[in-house]
């Protein structure tokens, strides 16, 4: 949520900051703003998307070689010009951008107001600028440290003072990375914002504060002013991975990248058996508990199925947001797996910490290298999907499933189970299988044309493809704003069947394999009530045609891999419906890519 970018160097800051903001816009996009040091501090900000704000306020008219910028996803205070960041104090000497939530802002605001500070926004963030102003006695960094010590909550911040030629950045619970380069320094809430300038990154940890000074001098300290030695890490992502590369939207590009991203998650890990080079053993844990949110929670449901059926280890899944507050009975016999594309989701991170506190061994299944969950977990399996920019998760979701399959197989090996070589062979063929499925693209677009006007959809699947139904429905509602529900197919008769009529498209995941006959019976029940059926069916299954209004065919593969194969047409269906409706597919309303607040 919210994107921050900062620059200190010899080039004009505004164009660099604007580019960085555009790359961060997927993190939040209801307002944008920029502040550049130029004798005083010049600020431009407003409600709206970055390019709209730029058209109106011309960021490039800000001259100076040091600046900070922000794209916002509102938490406290509606999107408006006054609530857009950067924020200032009473005298305009300070400008600050913030990502996160200051929980004790009300108390602090009352205190500061009683001391004469005048607030001009509805945000929680503004207390920080006034606190810094209050503590400032000529030592800018010192005043920022003192202010941060008063704060309860989460923050990634970048702040400048009109009398100091430096940017101060800090983090607690919201990501912040510093990019280093000869003569220049950058900071951002996400490496993709500064990747075009440098691949050398310093990841700040919670409770750390850094100064970016002329000549690219970066110094990291803790809040008590102790200088810390930090590693400079080289990020493996490339610029073309964060650009659209000729596709209309990032989401479409990312759907089409799946054959390659699936190759990447398996690379070096799939031989005759499974080689997972994780730091530390999965160990002899008696139970696995998987915690996650959103699409990652759907992949967790598939992971449970895979772990139990392949390794025989009992597995449970919980919403991270529920797990963290329900006094979970978790301890040293448990392996807790936290799944997160971003590695920054607040609820998932809190659940992971809670599991650690209770003595469980923790494993992160994460995409973003160096992210907080990746660093916090005892062990990790990166999913190597590459940067995922579209807010709706696609390639990260399928890579999570394969990572969980690898973990399940690894556990199976450790428990002396024989590995099914046919499954491994289908895994090797999976990228080619997905390339084949993607060729159905035009047909799926044509189906989307026919069904886009409907206001409700039902998605039904069984067993390992019940989560596919949930994920298909989530994709549709996220980006097309059409109400969609996913259910285990057998549950339909316990309620949702009341909704079925000729205006209700029902998407069935109906591959040949386990549960096929039962799915066909459910299709009959929908047909009898004149529901419109879209079936995802196995190539060569001709009998399903008579029951369906539209059939999307996918190649037969191992049951364990079918969720990866089946979700591709559902991602495309959601994408095309949203596009037909003229919606902003990559930046759906109210959402943000990385949910770093509770």
The size of the interface with ligand M6R (CB under 6 A), counted in residues, is: 16
Q: What is the dihedral of CA 545, 547, 549, 554, to 10 degrees?
A: -50
| 167-172 β-sheet, strand order | 94-99, 155-161, 167-172, 208-213, 217-222, 227-228
Interface region with ligand M6R, contact rule CB under 6 A, candidates 340-348, 410-418, 508-516, 518-526? 340-348
Q: Which of 502, 540, 544 is nearest to 522 (CA)?
A: 544
Residues contacting 489, CB < 8 A, separation 6+: 460, 461, 462, 466, 469, 508, 515, 518, 519, 522
Main-chain dihedrals φ then ψ at residue 128, nearest 5 degrees: -65, -45
| Catalytic residue, candidates 2, 361, 475, 587 | 2
- CB nearer ligand M6R, residue 335 or residue 392: 392
DSSP state of 215: B
- Contact code string over 211-240 relative to ligand M6R, x by CB under 6 A: ------------------------------
- Contact code string over 282-301 relative to ligand M6R, x by CB under 6 A: -----------xxxx-----
Whole-angstrom CA distances from 461 to 111, 172, 514 are 56, 41, 11
- CB nearer ligand M6R, residue 64 or residue 380: 380
Q: Please state the closest distance from residue 207 (CB atom) to ligand M6R, in A.
A: 22
Whole-angstrom CA distances from 572 to 73, 392, 454 are 27, 12, 17
| 393 touches ligand M6R (CB under 6 A) | yes
Q: Please state the closest distance from residue 439 (CB atom) to ligand M6R, in A.
A: 24
- Asked if residue 562 lies in contact with residue 513, where contact means CB atoms within 8 angstroms, the answer is yes
- CB nearer ligand M6R, residue 557 or residue 594: 594
Both ends of the chain: CA-CA distance in Å? 11
Whole-angstrom CA distances from 325 to 8, 288, 293, 329 are 42, 19, 14, 11
Q: Which of 124, 122, 51, 140 is nearest to 81 (CA)?
A: 122
Interface region with ligand M6R, contact rule CB under 6 A, candidates 2-10, 218-226, 271-279, 590-598? 590-598
3-class DSSP state of 253? helix
- CB nearer ligand M6R, residue 294 or residue 328: 294
In degrees, rounded to 5, the angle at the alpha carbon of residue 65 between the alpha carbons of residues 60 and 68 is 75
Query: Which positions from 475 through 494 interact with ligand M6R, judged by CB under 6 A?
Result: 478
Interface region with ligand M6R, contact rule CB under 6 A, candidates 325-333, 342-350, 443-451, 510-518? 342-350
- Give residue for tokens 């844990």: 285
Q: Please state the closest distance from residue 594 (CB atom) to ligand M6R, in A.
A: 6
| Catalytic residue, candidates 361, 475, 587, 593 | 593
Burial class (CB in 10 A: 0-12, 13-18, 19+), 502: exposed
Closest residue to ligand M6R, based on beta-carbon distance: 294
Interface region with ligand M6R, contact rule CB under 6 A, candidates 11-19, 249-257, 458-466, 587-595? 587-595
Q: Which of 344, 373, 354 is nearest to 596 (CA)?
A: 344
Q: What is the dihedral of CA 283, 284, 290, 296, to 10 degrees?
A: 40
Q: Please state the closest distance from residue 483 (CB atom) to ligand M6R, in A.
A: 16
Q: Please state the closest distance from residue 156 (CB atom) to ligand M6R, in A.
A: 16
Q: Please state the closest distance from residue 326 (CB atom) to ligand M6R, in A.
A: 19
| 372 touches ligand M6R (CB under 6 A) | no
- Paired sense of beta strands 379-382 and 361-366, if any: parallel
Q: Please state the closest distance from residue 299 (CB atom) to ligand M6R, in A.
A: 9
- CB nearer ligand M6R, residue 65 or residue 342: 342
Query: What tokens were used for 404?
Result: 């969980």
The number of beta carbons lying within 10 Å of the beta carbon of residue 569 is 25
- Paired sense of beta strands 287-292 and 334-340, if any: parallel
| 129 touches ligand M6R (CB under 6 A) | no
- CB nearer ligand M6R, residue 172 or residue 296: 296
Among 174, 211, 342, 433, binds ligand M6R (CB under 6 A): 342
| 341 touches ligand M6R (CB under 6 A) | yes
Query: What tokens were used for 431?
Result: 């990228």
Interface region with ligand M6R, contact rule CB under 6 A, candidates 32-40, 82-90, 300-308, 389-397? 389-397
Q: Please state the closest distance from residue 373 (CB atom) to ligand M6R, in A.
A: 8
Report how far residue 204's alpha carbon sits from residue 595's, in angstroms, rounded to the nearest whole number: 19
Query: Which positions from 60 through 89 interact with ligand M6R, judged by CB under 6 A?
Result: none
- CB nearer ligand M6R, residue 189 or residue 341: 341
Interface region with ligand M6R, contact rule CB under 6 A, candidates 83-91, 459-467, 487-495, 588-596? 588-596
> Is residue 2 annotated as part of the catalytic site, yes or no?
yes
Q: Please state the closest distance from residue 258 (CB atom) to ligand M6R, in A.
A: 14
| 340 touches ligand M6R (CB under 6 A) | yes
Among 99, 143, 189, 345, binds ligand M6R (CB under 6 A): 345
- CB nearer ligand M6R, residue 32 or residue 293: 293
| 195 touches ligand M6R (CB under 6 A) | no
> Is residue 532 annotated as part of the catalytic site, yes or no?
no
Q: Which of 159, 154, 191 is nearest to 172 (CA)?
A: 154
Report how far residue 52's alpha carbon sits from residue 55's, in angstroms, rounded to the nearest whole number: 5
Query: Which positions from 526 through 565 interact with ligand M6R, judged by CB under 6 A?
Result: none
Residues contacting 425, CB < 8 A, separation 6+: none
Q: Please state the closest distance from residue 295 (CB atom) to ligand M6R, in A.
A: 3
Among 348, 372, 548, 566, binds ligand M6R (CB under 6 A): 348
* Chain contacts with ligand M6R (rule: CB under 6 A): 293-296, 340-342, 345, 348, 391-393, 478, 591, 594-595
Active site residues: 2, 593
């Amino acid at each position: 949520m919210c994107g921050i970018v900062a620059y200190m160097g010899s080039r004009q800051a505004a164009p660099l900051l604007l580019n960085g903001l555009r790359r961060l816009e997927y993190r939040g996009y209801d307002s944008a703003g920029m502040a550049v040091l130029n004798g005083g501090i010049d600020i431009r900000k407003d409600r709206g998307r970055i390019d709209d704000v730029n058209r109106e306020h011309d960021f490039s008219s800000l001259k100076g070689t040091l600046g900070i910028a922000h794209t916002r996803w509102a938490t406290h205070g509606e999107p408006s010009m006054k609530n857009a960041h950067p924020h200032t104090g009473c005298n305009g000497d300070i400008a600050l951008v913030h990502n996160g939530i200051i929980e004790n802002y009300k108390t602090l605001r009352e205190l500061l107001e009683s001391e004469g500070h005048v607030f001009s926004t509805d945000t929680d963030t503004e207390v920080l600028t006034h606190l810094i102003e209050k503590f400032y006695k000529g030592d800018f960094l010192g005043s920022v440290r003192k202010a941060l010590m008063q704060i309860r909550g989460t923050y990634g911040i970048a702040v400048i003072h009109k009398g100091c030629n430096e940017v101060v950045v800090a983090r607690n619970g919201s990501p912040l990375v510093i990019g280093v380069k000869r003569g220049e320094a950058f900071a951002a809430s996400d490496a993709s914002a500064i990747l075009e300038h440098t691949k050398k990154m310093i990841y700040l940890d919670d409770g750390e504060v850094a100064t970016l000074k002329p000549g690219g001098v970066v110094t990291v300290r803790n809040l008590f002013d102790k200088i810390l030695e930090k590693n400079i890490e080289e990020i493996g992502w490339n610029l073309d991975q964060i650009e659209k590369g000729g596709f209309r939207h990032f989401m479409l590009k990312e759907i089409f990248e799946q054959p390659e991203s699936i190759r990447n998650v398996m690379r070096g890990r799939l031989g005759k058996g499974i080689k997972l080079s994780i730091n530390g053993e999965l160990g002899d844990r008696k139970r696995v508990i998987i915690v996650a949110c959103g699409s990652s929670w759907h992949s967790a449901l598939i992971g449970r199925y895979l772990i139990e059926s392949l390794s025989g280890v009992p597995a449970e899944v919980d919403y991270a947001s529920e797990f963290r507050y329900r006094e979970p009975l978790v301890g040293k016999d448990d392996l807790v797996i936290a799944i997160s594309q971003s590695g920054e989701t607040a609820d998932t991170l809190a659940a992971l910490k809670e599991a650690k506190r209770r003595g469980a061994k923790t494993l992160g299944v994460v995409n973003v290298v160096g992210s907080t969950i990746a660093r916090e977990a005892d062990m990790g399996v990166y999913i190597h999907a590459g940067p995922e920019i579209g807010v709706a998760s696609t390639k990260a979701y399928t890579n999570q499933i394969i990572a969980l399959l690898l973990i399940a197989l690894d556990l199976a090996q450790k428990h002396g189970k024989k590995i099914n070589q046919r499954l491994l062979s289908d895994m090797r063929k999976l990228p080619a299988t997905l390339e084949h499925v993607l060729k159905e693209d035009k047909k799926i677009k044509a189906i989307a044309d026919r069904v886009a006007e409907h206001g409700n959809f039902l998605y039904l699947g069984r067993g390992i493809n019940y989560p596919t139904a949930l994920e298909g429905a989530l994709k549709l509602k996220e980006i097309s704003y059409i109400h969609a529900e996913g259910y285990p197919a057998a549950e339909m008769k316990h309620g949702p069947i009341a909704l079925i009529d000729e205006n209700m498209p029902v998407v069935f995941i109906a591959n040949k394999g386990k549960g096929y006959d039962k799915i066909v019976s459910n299709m009959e029940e929908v047909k009898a009530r004149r529901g419109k059926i879209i079936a995802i069916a196995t190539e060569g299954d001709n009998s399903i045609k008579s029951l369906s209004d539209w059939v999307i065919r996918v190649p037969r593969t191992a049951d364990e891999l079918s969720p990866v194969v089946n979700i591709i047409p559902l991602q495309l269906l959601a994408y095309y419906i949203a596009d037909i409706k003229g919606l902003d597919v990559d930046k759906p309303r109210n959402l943000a890519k990385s949910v770093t607040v509770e």
